[in-house]
Chains A and B, each alone.
Chain A
C-alpha cells in the first residue's frame, strides 16, 4: 500500500483491494419507512451530532458514564460504540466510528480518519458536532406555525435538514469562490451567488406567495 498524502486517496486504494460487500442490506435499512423504527443494522454515523441536538449542547459530549455503561449492556449491537464515544473526546472517533452497519464502510472511514491532518480533523470534528440548538429551533418552529405542538422528532428532522442545507450553501459558495479565484473567509457576495444558483437548480423551496415588506 503506497503512502499517499491524501487520506481519501489512500482509502480508495485500500477499497480497491477489498471490494465492498453488496450494499443491498444497508440500502434497505436506509430507505426503510419511518413508521417502523429501524432497530438493527442502520448504524448512525452522526451519533455525536444527534446527541448534541438531543442534549442541547454542541460543545461537549454529554451522556453520563453510568448511562453509557448501562446502555452498552442492554443494547447488544455496535451501539455501545456510540455511547462510549460520547464520554471521550475526539480521539475516540478514530477508533470506533459507526456507519450504517457496513463493516467495509467503517473500515474505509477509519482509514480516512487515521490519515487526517490536524486541520482536517478539527474541521471534521466541527462538521460532526455542529448543529442547531434544539431549543432555538423549536422556538423558531413554534413562531412559524403559530401552534405549540412541535414534537421533538420534528425538531430533530428540521435541524438535520437545515444543517444539510447550510452544507450545500457553503459548499456551493466555496465553488463560487474558486471560480472567482478569491481566497479567505467566505463573503456575503459568494453566499448570495451560491443561493442564486441553488434557486435555479430548484434546491430551495419556492415561495407560493412572494414575501413583501420584510
Chain B
C-alpha cells in the first residue's frame, strides 16, 4: 500500500506494479473534494453531501474532463497545438455551456485589460511622485 495517509485530504490510488520512475500519473483522491462539496450544495444537494457521493462525482468529472480533452486533442491534431477553440468546438451543440464558456473568456479579457490599465496608471503615479 503506497502512502495511505488518512489525515490528509488526498489518498494515493493503489497502483499495482507501477515503477517509481514512471511520470506521476497516479491520481490522488479528493483533489476536488472541498470545491465539489460547495458546488453540490449550490446545485441542490444537502449542506453536507455524503463523502461517497462527492468521491463518485469527482470520479465522474475527472472522466468527463479526460474524455473531453482527448476529443479536443483529436480535433486539434490536424492543426498541431491544442487551443481553447477546440473545446468550444466540442461543446458547440450544448448552448448553455457554450454561452457560459464564451462569457468566461470575455470576462477574462476584460479583467486582463483592466489590470493592464491599472498597472499603467500605477506607473504614471509612481513617476509623478
Contact = CB atoms under 8 A, between A and B. Distances in A.
Contacts of A31: 99, 102
Contacts, number: 220
Given A37-B110, A45-B103, A140-B65, 5 more contacts: A34-B84, A37-B109, A123-B41, A127-B43, A208-B71
Main secondary structure on A side of the interface with B? helix
A133 B84 contact: no
Given A58-B38, A74-B114, A128-B42, A205 B105 contact: no
A93 interface: no
B111 A154 contact: no
A186 B105 contact: no
Query: Could you say which interface size class chain B belongs to?
Result: 35 or more
A35 B104 CA distance: 13
A4 B57 CA distance: 36
B97 interface: yes
A151 B102 contact: no
B36 to A, nearest CB: 7
A202 to B, nearest CB: 9
B35 A58 contact: yes
Interface in A58-74: 58, 67, 70-71, 74
Interface string B93-106: 01011011111111
Interface stretch (A9-17, A103-111, A141-149): A141-149
Query: Could you say which interface size class chain A belongs to?
Result: 35 or more
A167 B102 contact: no
Contacts of A37: 105-106, 109-110
A32 B102 CA distance: 8
B43 A133 contact: no
B90 to A, nearest CB: 8
A87 to B, nearest CB: 15
Contacts of B65: 137, 140-141, 144, 158, 162
